[in-house]
Amino acid sequence: MLSCKDFLKELSDYLDESTSPGAKAELDQHLKECPNCWVVADTTKKTIQVYRGTEPRAVPDRLKFRLLAALESRMKARQKNC
């Protein structure tokens, strides 16, 4: 049977569903028999979900204006060269 350490080494791939079918069966089995690893796997999965579900904040206006101004001067320079 797989040790907890072996399980944890594979946890990322397991959650990303990128393990081979054979390895997956072994990891599934470990989860059924080991409450600790079940908790770690479940809360790691939720950790990823909570970050993936976060929308990016708006860019501060001041920064947006600065960027657009810098870009505009590049755009003007390019048009002159064309």
CA 45 – CA 15 distance, rounded (Å): 7
Decide which of another protein, Zn ion, none touches 5; Cβ closer than 5 to 8 Å per partner kind.
Answer: another protein
**Among residues 1, 20, 22, 54, the one that binds another protein under rule CB under 8 A:** 54
DSSP letters of 12-79?
HHHHTT-S-HHHHHHHHHHHHH-HHHHHHHHHHHHHHHHHHTPPPPPPPHHHHHHHHHHHHHHHHHHH
Min dist. Cβ of residue 69 to Zn ion (A): 56
Amino acid symbol at 31: L
Q: Residue 5 or 80: which CB sits closer to Zn ion?
A: 5
Which residue ranges make up the site for another protein (CB under 8 A)?
5, 8-9, 11-13, 15-16, 18, 35-36, 38-40, 42-44, 46-48, 50-54, 56-59, 63-64, 66-68, 70-71, 74-75, 78-79, 82
